[in-house]
């Protein structure tokens, strides 16, 4: 006789539950959503009084391959005991994080571990942070693979600095979960202070991962007990998690509200140069992604887009990728001229940099035309001794130099170096740049001894100020070596 069979429906959806699985050949990323205090693993992300569940019904189709519309993300939710009223759980944040951590290990015990993105709401965000802190301290092979796979986190209303629990305490009473609720209070929570300090470096340095924080813009109903003793979210409206608490994450991500992807990347992407090249490279995929969207119409959006185009150009320029640099900088110039005007300092900076890109390609005439315009406007708007004006004069001098117009180049460079010494000081990097440029001009004018003396002085100061490995220092040393060899061969 066969035993009767039973179908068990897990309405709580505890642990990890897949919502969408792409075909194996398209599966490129794992996304795991975790709900907050008193939330439901599925219901917290579902339309109120409706059937639409955005993680299941929308998100997979927003994340597709570049060349097709095939979804690439596996979407999962994580459920845990999070009720505030009538709870029997003694678990604290660390206990909840341990269970979450154990559930995640299956993701890396496969042949290929995909990048992981967490979507966390409220208490769920604190659980994610605590789990990541634990992973960062572990030497276990699976834990190391897991934390390496973490690509980014989206925090929704997470109380990084605590929350107002005054409306929750009557609901929990003296229940076993009271300690958990008190531990996430905005008043003197030692647990959150320690967590915040340890989380800063748990995912590595700036550029190793991406975190976006969202905060609530409207007050929400608080808990109220009805005449039957049942609790419901029908009490007075309040903001339990402040904007500052919801957006206080890692040091380099504090300040901007991170509510707009374009503005976020524009804020964090540095201008490409020697000191920032590694961070630029890490953030480059993010920049590509947000710059694909050309539908931005607001003034703020256009300003952010232009700034990002300009900064990415700096990286391309540093890497010698002139065609890409030219394309991006032209876009920055057009946008900044449209939104800010041609006399705005940012517009002039982009225009001047476009001239340098032409210069690096040997397109002297195009570079000269832009440099003359920029120099004239800066003299009129900023004055002759402003650092930006001096930069324009120096750049124009270099263009003259490369066209063999030695006298015109020397006149400009002598003026620039004299003003920079007086205004910025002899050891300022811009002054040292002027010294190096003037030395080259003197060398080409036949003033060999003057050129050698000046470049030697420049090298000593650059080694002191910039260090021996800085590109400006090494280029000066290489130039002196070449000049000395030329003199000895005569």
1 in a structural domain:
no
pLDDT reported for residue 298: 67
Residue 323: how many other CB atoms lie within 10 Å: 10
Q: Which pLDDT tens digit goes with each residue over 172-212?
A: 888 888 888 888 888 878 888 888 888 988 988 877 888 88
- Asked if 191 and 253 sit in the same domain, the reply is yes
4 in a structural domain:
no
- Asked if 147 and 293 sit in the same domain, the reply is no
pLDDT reported for residue 10: 52
35 in a structural domain:
yes
Q: Which pLDDT tens digit goes with each residue over 278-334?
A: 666 776 776 776 677 666 666 777 888 888 888 888 888 878 888 988 999 999 999
Residue 71, pLDDT above cutoff 50: yes
Torsional sign, CA 38, 195, 93, 144 = positive
Q: Which token pair is 436?
A: 């190096």
The whole-number average pLDDT for the span 356-376 is: 92
Tokens 């960062």 map to which residue?
A: 136
pLDDT reported for residue 58: 86
- Asked if 38 and 75 sit in the same domain, the reply is yes
366 in a structural domain:
no
pLDDT reported for residue 258: 39
- Asked if 245 and 308 sit in the same domain, the reply is no
pLDDT reported for residue 488: 61
pLDDT reported for residue 1: 42
**Nearest one of 304, 308, 326, 309 to 317, comparing CA atoms:** 326
Q: Confidence class of residue 11 from pLDDT cuts 50, 70 and 90?
A: low
Q: The domain that contains 78 carries what CATH number?
A: 3.40.50
Lowest mean per-residue pLDDT among 308-317, 382-391, 427-436: 308-317
The total of structural domains in the chain comes to 3
Q: Which token pair is 94?
A: 């660390």
Q: Confidence class of residue 253 from pLDDT cuts 50, 70 and 90?
A: low
Evaluate if pTM is beyond 0.85: no
- Asked if 271 and 211 sit in the same domain, the reply is no
Of 219, 234, 258, the residue at which a domain comes to its end is: 258
Of 258, 283, 300, the residue at which a domain comes to its end is: 258
38 in a structural domain:
yes
Q: Which pLDDT tens digit goes with each residue over 173-184?
A: 888 888 888 888
- Asked if 20 and 138 sit in the same domain, the reply is yes
- Asked if 475 and 425 sit in the same domain, the reply is yes
- Asked if 319 and 440 sit in the same domain, the reply is no
pLDDT reported for residue 302: 82
CA–CA dist 49, 449 (Å, integer): 84
Asked if 252 and 263 count as a contact pair (C-beta separation under 8 A), the reply is no
Of 258, 291, 318, the residue at which a domain comes to its end is: 258
Q: The domain that contains 334 carries what CATH number?
A: 1.25.40.10
Q: Which pLDDT tens digit goes with each residue over 131-165?
A: 999 999 999 999 999 999 999 999 888 898 888 88
Bridge-based pairing state of the strands 237-238 and 220-221: antiparallel
121 in a structural domain:
yes
Residue 7, pLDDT above cutoff 50: no
Bridge-based pairing state of the strands 29-34 and 116-121: parallel
- Asked if 279 and 251 sit in the same domain, the reply is no
- Asked if 133 and 236 sit in the same domain, the reply is yes
Q: Which token pair is 204?
A: 């590595």
The whole-number average pLDDT for the span 10-26 is: 84
Residue 8, pLDDT above cutoff 50: no
pLDDT reported for residue 64: 87
- Asked if 264 and 252 sit in the same domain, the reply is no
Write out the residue range of the structural domain in which residue 264 sits: 260-361
pLDDT reported for residue 177: 83
Residue 478 burial class via C-beta count within 10 angstroms: exposed 0-12, middle 13-18, buried 19 and up = exposed
374 in a structural domain:
no
Q: Confidence class of residue 277 from pLDDT cuts 50, 70 and 90?
A: low
6 in a structural domain:
no
- Asked if 106 and 241 sit in the same domain, the reply is yes
């Amino acid at each position: 006789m066969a035993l009767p069979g039973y179908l068990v429906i897990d309405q709580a959806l505890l642990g990890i539950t897949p919502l969408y699985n792409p075909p194996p050949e398209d599966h490129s990323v794992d996304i795991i959503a975790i709900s907050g205090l008193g939330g439901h693993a599925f219901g917290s992300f579902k339309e109120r009084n409706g059937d639409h569940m955005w993680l299941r019904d929308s998100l997979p189709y927003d994340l597709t391959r570049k060349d097709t519309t095939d979804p690439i993300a596996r979407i999962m939710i994580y459920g845990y005991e999070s009720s505030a009223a009538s709870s029997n759980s003694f678990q604290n944040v660390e206990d909840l994080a341990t269970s979450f951590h154990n559930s995640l290990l299956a993701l890396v015990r496969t042949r290929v571990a995909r990048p992981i993105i967490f979507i966390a709401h409220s208490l769920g965000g604190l659980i994610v942070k605590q789990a990541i802190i634990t992973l960062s301290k572990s030497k276990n092979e699976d834990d190391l693979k897991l934390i390496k796979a973490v690509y980014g986190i989206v925090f929704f209303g997470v109380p990084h600095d605590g929350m107002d629990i005054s409306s929750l305490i009557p609901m929990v009473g003296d229940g076993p979960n009271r300690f958990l609720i008190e531990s996430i209070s905005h008043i003197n929570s030692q647990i959150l202070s320690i967590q915040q300090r340890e989380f800063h470096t748990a995912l590595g340095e700036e550029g190793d991962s991406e975190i976006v924080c969202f905060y609530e813009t409207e007050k929400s109903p608080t808990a109220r007990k009805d005449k039957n003793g049942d609790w419901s979210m029908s009490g007075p409206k309040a903001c339990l998690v402040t904007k500052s608490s919801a957006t206080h994450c890692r040091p380099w991500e504090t300040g901007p509200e991170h509510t707009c992807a374009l503005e976020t990347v524009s804020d964090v992407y540095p201008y490409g140069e020697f000191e920032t090249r590694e961070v630029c490279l890490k953030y480059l995929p993010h920049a590509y992604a947000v710059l694909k969207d050309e539908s931005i119409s607001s003034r703020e959006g256009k300003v952010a887009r232009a700034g990002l185009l300009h900064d990415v150009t700096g990286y391309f320029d540093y890497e010698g990728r002139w065609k890409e640099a030219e394309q991006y900088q032209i876009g920055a110039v057009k946008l900044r001229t449209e939104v800010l005007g041609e006399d705005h300092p940012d517009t002039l900076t982009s225009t001047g940099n476009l001239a340098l890109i032409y210069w690096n390609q040997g397109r002297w005439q195009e570079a000269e035309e832009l440099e003359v315009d920029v120099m004239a406007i800066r003299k009129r708007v900023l004055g002759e001794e402003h650092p930006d004006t001096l930069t324009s004069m120096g750049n124009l001098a270099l263009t003259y130099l490369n066209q063999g117009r030695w006298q015109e180049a020397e006149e400009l460079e002598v003026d620039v170096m004299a003003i920079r010494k007086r205004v910025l000081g002899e050891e300022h990097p811009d002054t040292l740049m002027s010294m190096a440029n003037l030395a080259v001009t003197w060398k080409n004018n036949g003033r060999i001894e003057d050129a050698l003396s000046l470049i030697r002085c420049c090298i000593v100061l650059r080694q002191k100020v910039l260090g021996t490995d800085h590109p400006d220092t090494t280029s000066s040393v290489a130039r002196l070596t070449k000049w000395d060899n030329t003199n000895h061969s005569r």
